[in-house]
Amino acid sequence: MRSIIMINVIESIKKIKLPFFSDMEIYFDLGTSVTKIAIKDKGLILREATYLAFNQKVKDYLFIGEEAKSILGKTPDFIKIIRPVVSGVISDFDAEVALVKKFLDRSANLYVSNSMIKPLFRGIAIVPSIATEIEQKAVEESLFKAGLSNVFLVERALATATGCGLNVFSHQPNFVTDLGGGLIELSIIGSGGIIAQKTLKNGGDHMNKTIYNYIYLKYGVILGESSCEELKIKLLNFIDDDRVVTIRGKSLETGLPKTVRVKSSDIKEALLSTFNLIIDSIKELLESSAPEIVDETLKRGIILTGGLSKIPGLDRFISQEIKIDVITNPDYQYATINGLTKLGLRKDELSKLVIR
C-alpha cells in the first residue's frame, strides 16, 4: 500500500511543470503518417513512419517505423500492423508509448552522455487545434510514459507557421495550409494566436482510400494500402504530365493477381473532388473572415506545407482557383518540427504559446 502511495507521489512530482528547468529538450511532431523528433541544439534526429508491427502471440512490438510500414499486408495473421495516430490524434495509447520509447532509444540516446545520472528531458509536442482535452492529455501522458520528465504542448498550426519562417506574433495575419497524412489544417494566424481555422480529415490517408475505391470500381482490382500511396506519390500532379504506373493487385473476379496500367489522369479524377473540397474550404474561411484579413492574405498569399504540398503544380492549381498567390514552403516535410525547434530557442515566445 505504502509503495503504491510512494509511486503516486513520485508520478505527481514528475508532472509538476518546472518551466525550462533542464536544458535537455526534445521536440515531437507525432504525425499521423510520419513521426519527427528533434533535439535542442542538434536539430532533427528522427523521421520515421508512424507504424508498428505487433506480435499477438508474444504480445510484443516486433518492428517499428519504416520497417513495419514496409511489411504492411505481407504478414502472417498473428502479426498486426498498428497505426497509433489517426487523423492527427492518438488512437492506440499503448502502441504510441512503445513507438516513442523505441524511437527515443534509437535516436536521442546517441546524444545523451553515458553518465549514471539520467538527465531530465523536457518534451515539447504539438497537438492539432481540434484535439479534445482527452486527446491532448493522451499526448502528454504518452510522453511521460516514454520517459520525459516534463511535457508542454503547443498548437500545431502555430509551430507549423513558425517553421515556415513566419512570426506568429506579428499583427499582420498569415494564411497557412498544412496538408498532412491525417489532417488538412487551414489556419489564419496572427498576434500570437489562431484567428480562424478549418480542419478537414481528408488528408493523405483518406486520399489513399479514395484511390483504392476508384481502382476497385474502374479496373476491378483490389490494391494494398502501400500500392495506393505509391500511385498517389508517383502519378498525382496538376501540371498535366500524364505518367503511367503498372501495378499489381488482386482481381475482384478471380481473386488471382492482376496487373493494371494506371495513369495520372485516373488519380487526378479520383482525387479531384477532395482537392475541390480543400479549395472550397479555403474560400469559405476567407469569406467568413474580416476584410482586413482578406486584404492581408491577398498581399502575402497562402503558404502550403506538409507532405501533400509536394504534389507538382498543386500550388498553381489552387492559386488559379482562388485568385490569390500560393507559395509552397521549401521545407514542406519539416515545417512543424522546425517550428518547435525554433520556438525552443525563444523561450519568451514559447511560454506564451504553451496550452498545457
Residues that bind Mg ion (CB under 5 A): 31, 180
Among 65, 123, 163, 181, binds ligand ATP (CB under 6 A): 181
Q: Which does 155 bind (CB under 5 to 8 A by kind): ligand ATP, Mg ion, none?
A: none
CA separation for the pair 149, 123 (Å, rounded): 8
Burial of residue 222 (number of CB atoms within 10 Å: 0-12, 13-18, 19+): middle
When asked if residue 307 is in the footprint of ligand ATP (CB under 6 A), the reply is yes
14-32 burial, b at 16+ Cβ within 10 Å, e below that, comes to: eeeeeeeeeebbbbbbbbb
CB proximity list for 116: less than 8 A, separation 6 or greater: none
Contact with ligand ATP (CB under 6 A) among 65, 203, 249, 339: 203
- Please, which residue, 54 or 334, has the CB nearer to Mg ion? 334
Q: Does 173 bind ligand ATP (CB under 6 A)?
A: no
Radius of gyration, alpha carbons of the chain: 22
Altogether, the residues listed in the chain come to a count of: 356
Residue 198 contacts residue 288 (beta carbons within 8 Å): no
C-alpha cell at position 242: 500524364
The binder of ligand ATP chosen from 108, 311, 343, 350 (CB under 6 A): 311
C-alpha to C-alpha distance for 213 and 89, rounded to whole angstroms = 25
| Residue range at the interface with ligand ATP (CB under 6 A); choices 26-34, 66-74, 186-194, 283-291 | 26-34
Query: How far apart, in Å, are the Cα atoms of 285 and each of 128, 175, 226, 318?
Result: 18, 10, 33, 14
Quote the least distance from Cβ 31 to ligand ATP, whole Å.
Answer: 2
Nearer to Mg ion (CB atom), residue 65 or residue 180: 180
Q: Helix, strand, coil: what percent of the chain each, to 5?
A: 40, 25, 30
Among 13-21, 60-68, 75-83, 305-313, the segment contacting ligand ATP (CB under 6 A)? 305-313
- Among the listed residues 215, 232, 262, 285, the single contact to ligand ATP using CB under 6 A: 232
Q: How far is the CB of 265 from ligand ATP (least distance, A)?
A: 16
Q: Does 88 bind ligand ATP (CB under 6 A)?
A: yes
CB of 166 to ligand ATP, least distance (A): 17
204 lies in the binding site for ligand ATP (CB under 6 A): yes
Is position 308 an interface residue for ligand ATP (rule: CB under 6 A)? yes
Query: Which partner from the list Mg ion, ligand ATP, none does 182 bind, CB cut-off 5 to 8 Å by kind?
Result: ligand ATP
Contacted entry of ligand ATP, Mg ion, none for residue 308, CB cut-off 5 to 8 Å set by kind: ligand ATP
229 near ligand ATP, rule: CB under 6 A:
yes
- Given Mg ion, ligand ATP, none, residue 65, with its beta carbon under 5 to 8 Å by kind, binds none
Q: How far is CA 67 from CA 49, 70, 234, 322, in A?
A: 8, 5, 21, 41
Question: What is d(CA 309, CA 26) in angstroms, rounded to the nearest whole number?
Answer: 26
CB of 136 to ligand ATP, least distance (A): 14
- Per the CB < 8 A criterion, the answer to whether 175 and 164 are in contact is no
**If binding is defined by CB under 6 A, does position 142 make contact with ligand ATP?**
no
Chain centroid, CA 128 distance in Å: 9
Residue numbers at the binding site for ligand ATP (CB under 6 A):
31-34, 88, 180-183, 203-205, 229, 232-233, 236, 306-308, 310-311, 333
